[in-house]
Amino acid sequence: ISLLSPSNQASQTVTGHIDDCTCDVETIDAFNNYKLFPRLNELLESDYFRYYKVNLKKPCPFWNDNSHCGIRDCAVKPCPTDEVPNGIRSASYKYSEEASNHAEECEEANRLGAVDESLSKETQRAMLQWTRHDDSSDSFCEADDIHSPDAEYVDLLLNPERYTGYKGPDAWKIWNSIYEENCFKPQNVKRPLASGRGESLILLSGVCIEKRAFYKLISGLHASINIHLSARYLLQDTWSEKKWGPNVTEFQQRFDEVLTRGEGPRRLKNLYFLYLIELRALSKVLPFFDRPGFQLYTGNKSHDAEIKNLLLEILHLAKSFPLHFDENSFFAGNKKEAAKLKEEFRLHFKNITRIMDCVGCFKCRLWGKLQTQGLGTVLKILFSENLIGKIPESGPSYGFRLTRQEIVALFNAFGRVSTSVRELENFRNILRNMQ
């Protein structure tokens, strides 16, 4: 994408090879913008993927700060219960995710009982809890308790991610905490950015690929969010009308090479790196969704079948991408050291998901929680390849499972990154016409 300096001269073009990958920017642009993005957008508008259950009332676990955004556009409008499709909100329906999970727990209890009928009910329940603990030990997210009274369904289409006008001090504090305390620190720190809009300018040489990848994933997520805010900026706010649209000045302040002291182009490359990681996860998880018994259940049988077909079409398209990221280089060294690094990797990211409860703007908190849970699900998939390969064509999958929350977060998070790549083309066209 061509960026303009304050003098309206082209200052940087982000093209070519992406570090630690075999892919390039141009291949991703063509694949995403003209093949995948339109199909993915259609999927995310369906009932199954538009409703997300979230608890926006959880207190910040890291510092005492109860300040919340008072701007009207920061608010999130939850759905009345009767507006959510029955198949999503009711665990009593046969193919709902909650019912499916419950059935698996019952089958597991029966299996344990068959091994030793002398086990007490308390012991069997404890063993089921141990199984759940084992599942959580592979989780990269601090997920909400969807059964909490404070958890509510939100229609994502009615609460879009966009610039709300909120400029509270917690935004800088949160990102600073993420980069300084939860990203693996590189060896060389050159200088902080004076603008406060992005991470410090750093050198990643001499850092192992896993730690480089972790940093670039977080930077790519940050870049993606900044693109959304620049592309859907509040341009007009009067008593009669509100208008959102692309704000080129805001975009330049976040990504122009001169204004960001060389950091903008690197942030955009990290966005493309994030895209490749999430695309790779979609290609890997195809067997989980391709089982005949798997249902995206909302209660509308014909529509559910259509959405599953569309989902499989997207996953097959993701698998067909010619230059996937090779995750086999992750944690490939000494087994003991690799296991230690993987656990550190998991705990760092889990901490980042908890930080989302410190965001003062509720709409920003909603999308922050969803996107970090989606990225956490991506990591869970990539590190569960052996388990996914053992999934039977029919019956429950004991080794690898995804909840409905994880599924919705996974595809919506990738939808946000896919949208960012598409928005870069819009800004490219706008800036080209300004020259």
Catalytic residue, chosen from 74, 79, 183, 361, is 361
Rounded CA-CA distance 402/391 in Å is 12
Task: Give the confidence band of 361 by pLDDT, cuts at 50, 70, 90.
Answer: confident
Our answer to whether residue 208 is catalytic in this structure is no
Task: Give the confidence band of 67 by pLDDT, cuts at 50, 70, 90.
Answer: low
Rounded CA-CA distance 271/80 in Å is 35
Task: Give the confidence band of 366 by pLDDT, cuts at 50, 70, 90.
Answer: very high
The pLDDT, as a whole number, for residue 386 is: 83
Q: Which residues contact 82 (CB under 8 A, 6 or more apart)?
A: none
Which is nearest to 267 in space by CA: 233, 231, 227, 229? 227
Most confidently modeled range among 112-121, 210-219, 275-284, 338-347: 275-284
Choose the weakest-confidence range: 16-20, 26-30, 121-125: 121-125
User: Structural domain boundaries of the chain?
Assistant: 2-50+59-76+160-434
Catalytic residue, chosen from 23, 60, 358, 364, is 364
Choose the weakest-confidence range: 45-49, 64-68, 131-135: 131-135
301-319 vs 263-284: helix crossing angle, rounded to 10 = 120
What percent of the chain stands above pLDDT 90? 35
What are the binding residues for FAD?
A: 162, 164, 175, 219, 222, 254
Output 94 or 255, whichever has higher pLDDT: 255
Other CB atoms within a 10 A radius of the CB of residue 289 amount to 16
* pLDDT tens-digit map of 91-101: 433 333 444 44
The pLDDT, as a whole number, for residue 382 is: 87
